[in-house]
Amino acid sequence: MSRADKLFVTMCERILKDGYSSEGQSVRARWADGTPAHTIKSFGVVNRYDLQEEFPALTLRPTAIKSAVDEILWIWQKKSNNIRDLNSHIWDEWADETGSIGKAYGYQLGVKYKFPHGEMDQVDNVLWQLSHTPYSRRIMTNIYNFADLSEMGLEPCAYSMTFNVTGNRLNAILNQRSQDILTANNWNVVQYSVLLHMFAQVSGLIPGELVHVIADAHIYDRHVPLIREMLERPQYPAPKFSLNPEIRNFYDFTVDDIRIEDYKKNPQIKNIPVAI
């Protein structure tokens, strides 16, 4: 059975059993009808995914893997902050009339800095270091730029990546300040797993471990029945994942270069209420 499913079940059961409820507190998020969107949360959740063991897509409900990859390429490859460069509508709520989400996500990764080895942006710095100084302990990105927060449509949730090479394995830590477990957990796990696969391939390494650190892992009140139903579903083996082996430049990858096989999964959960 999928280890990603088991980690998800354990995390959700912990939140539901021992989590802290925001009921009675003033909360920012609202449902579409204006009702406060309360949560049950756990602080400091850490999940580890060995990408040599499996590709961590949930089978409890399907993850739209290619859409998730399209978003991560929008941020890390296109370095775009305009939803017109994205093939889904997941960012529409936070965009202005021009399609911009402000100085957030891809914008931050595209800003150039003066590094000891030259002027480049954060993504190119990671790629340079993986090729030239792979055992450095300084291979990281951070898009939580306090100077630009007031000009962001949404402050970054997944805000930093730290890369670390052990032998020939590329590992990474994904830091996330906040996560809506039902709608976003496996979406983020899948897309950053694919990113790790891509960076490993173009750097002559193999993908190792993705460590996902979530400061505030929460389940919204109206999601609790959906989560409980998910946890009772059957679990299946993880799907098989591969990349087009001919791609050697990160900027050449497209969603068509990923291949997913044997993805046996439960039905999708439809009409999930989303808090804004």
**Cα–Cα dist 176/154, whole Å:** 14
Q: Is 57 annotated as a binding residue?
A: no
Closest CA to 194 of 60, 77, 62, 47: 77
Q: Is 125 annotated as a binding residue?
A: no
The residues pairing with 219 across neighbouring beta strands, listed in sequence order, are 40
Q: Is 220 annotated as a binding residue?
A: yes
Q: Is 223 annotated as a binding residue?
A: no
Measure the CA angle with vertex 255, ends 253 and 259; round to 5°: 100
Q: Is 21 annotated as a binding residue?
A: no
First to last CA, the chain: 34
Q: How far is CA 183 from CA 106, 107, 257, in A?
A: 21, 24, 25
Active-site position among 16, 64, 157, 211: 157
The answer to whether the CB of 60 falls within 8 A of the CB of 8 is: yes
Q: Is 18 annotated as a binding residue?
A: no
Measured from the Cβ of residue 220, the count of other Cβ atoms closer than 10 Å reads 24
The answer to whether the CB of 122 falls within 8 A of the CB of 141 is: yes
Q: Is 178 annotated as a binding residue?
A: yes
Rg of the chain, C-alpha, whole Å = 19
Closest CA to 103 of 150, 160, 157: 150
Q: Is 179 annotated as a binding residue?
A: yes
Is position 157 annotated as part of the catalytic site?
yes
Q: Is 275 annotated as a binding residue?
A: yes
Known binding-site residue numbers: 137-138, 177-180, 188, 218-220, 275
Question: Could you list the active site residues?
Answer: 157
Known binding-site residue numbers for dUMP: 137-138, 177-180, 188, 218-220
